[in-house]
Structure 1
Amino acid sequence: MFRNILIPTDGSPLATVALDAGIAFAKEAGARITVLTVMEPFHLFSTDAEQLASTKEEYEAFSRQHAGEILADAAARSERAGVPCGTDQARSHEVYRAIIKKSEDIGADLIIMASHGRGGVGALIIGSVAAKVLTHSTIPVLIYRKK
């Protein structure tokens, strides 16, 4: 039924547990996975253009490196399980939109992702990427929640 699964991850412990669950699900289904990490762009207001450029470059280099490490770990986990895996990283102010766009670009038929389960004021202030993906996705979304 599911042949092409997108698994977005931020590298957090819960997202890594969800990644492992997604890999196991894909293996059982005979599906391939694509693991995506979305980095938020640099956010700093400064009147010193030189400082801003330098700080932005450092942030972008660090975030690319960090995303690369997350994706390399995901690819290794997938390879150990014998599940075909592609990886990608994106940069977006709206993480949920980047996830949905990637699912469309690769023709995914399922998104598996973690949810930290924030409720109440935390969810209102921070917003939930998982909730936004659920709301706006046109394909099924399987949410792995913290127990």
Structure 2
Amino acid sequence: MFQHLLLPVDGSPLSESAFRQGIAFARDAGARVTALRVIPDFHTYTYQVEMLGGTRDRYARDATKAVEDYLDTMADEAAAAQVACETVAVIHDHPYEAIIDTAANKGCDLIVMASHGRRGLQAVLIGSETQKVLTHSRIPVLVYR
């Protein structure tokens, strides 16, 4: 049924657990996966712009390298489970948009992601990227809790 799963990860234990469940699902379905990590964009406020020379570029380079190393470990887990895995790192201010865009661009037919389980007022005020993906995605979303 599903042939290509998008597995967004954020480094939290819950997202890694959802990743592993997604890998197991993909293995059983004979599907391939794309692991995605969204890097927050660089923002800073200062009155002395000359102090920031090269800071944005250095941030992008260092953050991308760290995320690529992390995604390599995720790809190794998928390979150990005999699941084909592509990795993608994206710099974006809104993770839910990056998740939906990546799923569409890569031709994914299912997004598998974790729910952080915020409740009550915290859920209303902070929201969740999972909730935003559920609300805006045209691709089915499987939420692992």
Q: What TM-score, normalized by structure 1, do the two folds share?
A: 0.92
Task: Compare 130-139 and 116-125 and name the one that shifted more.
Answer: 116-125
Task: Compare 50-59 and 28-37 and name the one that shifted more.
Answer: 50-59
Instruction: Provide the C-alpha distance between the structure 1 equivalents of 2:125 and 2:55, rounded to a whole number of angstroms.
Output: 27
Q: Which runs of 4+ in 1 moved over 3 A?
A: none
Aligned partner of 1:3: which letter?
A: Q
- Unpaired stretches in structure 1, ≥5 consecutive residues: none
Aligned partner of 2:75: which letter?
A: A
**1:135 matched residue in structure 2:** 135
Instruction: Provide the C-alpha distance between the structure 1 equivalents of 2:89 and 2:67, rounded to a whole number of angstroms.
Output: 7
- Unpaired stretches in structure 2, ≥5 consecutive residues: none
How many residues end up aligned between the 2 structures?
145
1:119 lines up with 2:119 in the alignment = yes
Q: What's the CA shift string for 1:81-109, capped at 9, x where partnerless?
A: 00011011111111101100011111111
**2:16 matched residue in structure 1:** 16
Instruction: Provide the C-alpha distance between the structure 2 equivalents of 1:53 and 1:116, rounded to a whole number of angstroms.
Output: 37
**2:94 matched residue in structure 1:** 94
- Report the identity percentage: 45
Instruction: Provide the C-alpha distance between the structure 1 equivalents of 2:110 and 2:47, rounded to a whole number of angstroms.
Output: 44
Deviation at 1:46, TM superposition (A): 0.9
Aligned partner of 1:23: which letter?
A: I
